[in-house]
Amino acid sequence: MRARAPWQRLSSCRKRTSMRRCGRNSRLVDLKIRMQLCIMFDVSKKDNIDRVWDIIEKVSVCMLTTQFVGGLRARPLEARPDRDAGLIFFVTDIHSAKEDEIEATPDVGLVFIDSNDKAYLSITGRACVVRDAEKTKAAWRKTDEVWWPGGPNDPDVCLLRIEPFTAELWDGPASAAVTAFEFAKARLTGEEPNLGENRKVTVKM
């Protein structure tokens, strides 16, 4: 076998070194792309969760659906959201039928509608009845005295605590959130913003 000249061995060595460097650079680029995608996903998820809480706080009144032996029952209630805790509270009467229904089957549904912003929000979660004086005082509003003149310490008052699991959000074409989202996307992609379709998002809470 004919020996290679020194300059040939040096050239081969340089090629292998260059290939190893290219391989490392390629892996670094892939890693950076994956990290950027993860960051974008996390930011997008946070924005969607913030949007859900914004609607809950703005709309306030929702339809709470519970289950009973004959099927489903819905009624309007005013939500008292605690964004930091990730919980939704309702001030209600301990003697109402929904307390019994929730104790029997705690899975519930909530629907919030922001007609001005064409936003529709459906939440599924787990409910429980709470008798806690401090939490009731924190959720209490002056208007509640119309129903319970005894105030938050009224023996008929209790709280419903909802732990949201999943939120489904439909943002209409005229909503400010969709407009901002589409223009931001257009700025990144160079494409025309799509302002004529609904945007549906499912968020794990």
Q: What is the pLDDT of residues 157-203, one digit of tens each?
A: 999 999 999 999 987 665 666 666 666 767 777 776 665 556 788 88
Mean pLDDT calculated for residue range 34-41: 45
Domain spans, the chain:
57-204
- Residue 173: helix, strand or coil by DSSP? coil
- State the average pLDDT for the chain: 80
Distance CA 11, CA 7 (A): 6
Q: What is the pLDDT of residue 52?
A: 94
Q: What is the pLDDT of residue 31?
A: 52
- Residue 93: helix, strand or coil by DSSP? strand
User: In this prediction, what percent of the chain has a pLDDT beyond 90?
Assistant: 55
User: Which pLDDT band holds residue 29 (cuts at 50, 70, 90)?
Assistant: very low
pLDDT for 13 beyond 60? no
Radius of gyration over every alpha carbon of the chain, rounded to an integer in angstroms: 28
Q: What is the pLDDT of residue 126?
A: 97
Phi then psi for 65, rounded to 5 degrees? -110, 125
Amino acid at 110: L
Question: pLDDT for 63-95, tens place per residue?
Answer: 999 999 989 999 999 999 999 999 999 999 999
Q: Using alpha carbons only, what angle is made at residue 73 by residues 70 and 76, rounded to the nearest 5 degrees?
A: 170
Decide: residue 21, CB within 10 A, 0-12 exposed, 13-18 middle, 19+ buried: exposed
Pick the more confident residue, 19 or 178: 178
The residues near 78 (Cβ < 8 Å, ≥ 6 apart) are 60, 61, 90, 91
Distance CA 45, CA 185 (A): 15
Amino acid at 96: S
Give the pTM: 0.69
The domain made up of 57-204 is a member of CATH 2.70.98.20: no
Q: What is the pLDDT of residue 116?
A: 85
Q: What is the pLDDT of residue 43?
A: 43
pLDDT for 37 beyond 50? no
Positive or negative torsion for Cα 174, 180, 182, 183:
positive
